């Protein structure tokens, strides 16, 4: 009888009738149980095929949740910002681990991933949330390929809901006037912050991270960003390499900066010198919107308190995000004759693509206005002639 080769494996039947595939994989004796001899033979052939292509069979039996946790803590934690890592962890805990956490890595295929996405969509999760889940899964499965834990990434052939890009809503001239008057009349400690933020067109994290050492006679250097993370605020590098820049400001804006108390290394802080949280800043922004334009009764939420409806979550009638001021600043600069490249440098935009879209939309609106004015003139002339 021929002697079996190493790792060739064998099949035998137990006294209880089950068939056993016994094979040594990565130095460990493994056993797999089946109800029929045919199923055992097919499985042994599949194991041999996986060995030929070099698949790490032992690793593919590891629970996916264990590998994901290790990947996040050992690999991604040193490569991404803290707030980005926290987003990854939240997506994993809320959407991925409850469904895939206990499954062996080798058992997760494209159909499994598609079922996860379909379930999230059925549960009302937004396309953006499903997209974040997809990005995270793509990354973790890609990390398995070099070690031959899987032969291909099962995420690639899935279908995701299409993300409909929302049109950025900006203030018109009248709304801008009303809003700025509201800010100027307010006694909020965030008033100066809002006015500096408005003129610079910077990201709010860059203004919150502005240090006195970066303030010049007529400019500020953007070298730091302060972002909100679990438990408070943290310093980060600016968003991109191009975000490190010098921004020249008006004398009035520099004066607003210099009037801030110098009790910490940072320009804008709370009254007791602590970091300003972005959520508090956003809450104040929404309060200015409500003061300026009122609330949207159809979207605001009320709660019952002693048989009375009490406004709990007011929604501004004009709902424009603080980040939209970056786009407004870009439009104003375009109106002043600035090029896309110049606007990109001042605002620290990562890519000119978004600016080109803003510029194209602005140019289209300007053409429409000129056409409307021309049509009005032409109509007036025709009426006069008659």
Are residues 77 and 38 located together in one domain of the fold?
Answer: no
61 or 172: which leads in pLDDT:
172
Q: How far apart are CA 214 and CA 221, in angstroms?
A: 5
Per-residue pLDDT tens over the stretch 108-148? 888 899 999 999 999 988 888 999 999 999 999 998 888 77
Are residues 78 and 181 located together in one domain of the fold?
Answer: no
Is 364 inside a domain boundary?
A: no
Are residues 42 and 70 located together in one domain of the fold?
Answer: no
Are residues 309 and 177 located together in one domain of the fold?
Answer: yes
Q: How far apart are CA 96 and CA 121, in angstroms?
A: 13
Q: How far apart are CA 301 and CA 311, in angstroms?
A: 6
Number of domains composing the chain: 3
Per-residue pLDDT tens over the stretch 335-378? 888 888 899 999 999 888 888 887 777 666 666 666 666 665 55
Q: Read off the pLDDT of each residue in 260-273 and give the average, rounded to a whole number.
A: 92
| pLDDT at residue number 255 | 95
Residue 155 pLDDT exceeds 80: yes
Are residues 49 and 69 located together in one domain of the fold?
Answer: no
| pLDDT at residue number 53 | 45
Name the percent of the chain lying above pLDDT 90: 37
Is 167 inside a domain boundary?
A: no
Is 264 inside a domain boundary?
A: yes
Query: Locate tokens 């040193």: which residue?
Result: 78
Q: Give the residue among 307, 189, 341, 334 at the shortest CA–CA distance from 256.
A: 189
Are residues 296 and 254 located together in one domain of the fold?
Answer: yes
190 within 8 A of 276, measured Cβ to Cβ: yes
Are residues 194 and 237 located together in one domain of the fold?
Answer: yes
Q: Read off the pLDDT of each residue in 249-261 and give the average, rounded to a whole number.
A: 95
| Both structure tokens of 223 | 């070298």
Task: From residue 162, give the alpha-carbon distance in Å to each of 126, 127, 147, 215.
Answer: 10, 7, 33, 44
Give the domain extent around 305: 173-313
Is 257 inside a domain boundary?
A: yes
Q: What is the pTM (predicted TM-score) of this model? A: 0.67
Are residues 120 and 182 located together in one domain of the fold?
Answer: no
Is 373 inside a domain boundary?
A: no
Long-range CB pairs of 167-174, under 8 A, 24+ apart, other chains included: 168/324, 168/327, 168/358, 169/319, 169/320, 169/324, 170/320, 170/324, 170/327, 170/328, 170/331, 171/318, 171/320, 171/324, 171/328
Are residues 207 and 77 located together in one domain of the fold?
Answer: no
Residue 2 pLDDT exceeds 50: no
Are residues 45 and 77 located together in one domain of the fold?
Answer: no
| Both structure tokens of 194 | 């809002």
């Amino acid at each position: 009888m021929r002697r079996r080769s190493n790792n060739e494996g064998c099949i035998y039947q137990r006294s209880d009738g089950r068939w056993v595939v016994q094979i040594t994989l990565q130095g460990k004796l493994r056993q797999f149980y089946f109800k029929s001899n045919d199923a055992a033979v097919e499985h042994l052939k599949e194991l041999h095929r996986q060995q030929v292509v070099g698949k790490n069979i032992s690793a593919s039996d590891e629970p996916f949740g264990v590998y994901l946790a290790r990947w996040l803590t050992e690999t991604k934690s040193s490569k991404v910002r803290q707030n980005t890592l926290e987003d990854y962890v939240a997506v994993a805990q809320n959407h991925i681990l409850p469904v895939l956490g206990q499954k062996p890595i080798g058992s997760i295929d494209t159909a499994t991933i598609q079922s996860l996405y379909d379930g999230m969509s059925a549960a009302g999760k937004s396309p953006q949330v499903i997209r974040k889940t997809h990005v995270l899964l793509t990354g973790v499965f890609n990390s398995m390929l070099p070690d031959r834990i899987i032969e291909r990434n099962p995420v690639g052939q899935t279908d995701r809901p299409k993300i409909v890009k929302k049109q950025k809503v900006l203030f018109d001239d009248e709304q801008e006037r009303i809003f700025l008057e509201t800010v100027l009349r307010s006694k909020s400690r965030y008033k100066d912050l809002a006015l500096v933020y408005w003129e610079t067109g910077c990201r709010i994290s860059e203004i919150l991270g502005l240090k006195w050492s970066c303030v010049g006679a007529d400019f500020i250097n953007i070298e730091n960003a302060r972002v909100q993370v679990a438990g408070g605020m943290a310093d980060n590098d600016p968003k991109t390499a191009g975000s490190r820049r010098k921004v020249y400001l008006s004398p009035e804006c520099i004066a607003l900066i210099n009037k801030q108390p110098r009790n910490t290394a940072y320009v804008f802080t709370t009254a007791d010198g602590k970091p300003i949280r972005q959520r508090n800043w956003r809450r104040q922004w929404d309060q200015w919107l409500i003061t300026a334009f009122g609330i949207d009764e159809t979207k605001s939420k009320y709660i019952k308190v002693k048989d009375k409806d009490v406004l709990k979550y007011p929604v501004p009638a004009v709902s424009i995000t603080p980040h939209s001021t970056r786009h407004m600043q870009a439009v104003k600069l375009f109106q002043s004759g600035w090029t896309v490249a110049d606007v990109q440098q001042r605002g620290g935009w990562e890519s000119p693509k978004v600016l080109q879209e803003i510029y194209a939309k602005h140019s289209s609106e300007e053409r429409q206005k000129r056409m409307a004015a021309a049509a009005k003139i032409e109509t007036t002339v025709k009426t006069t002639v008659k």
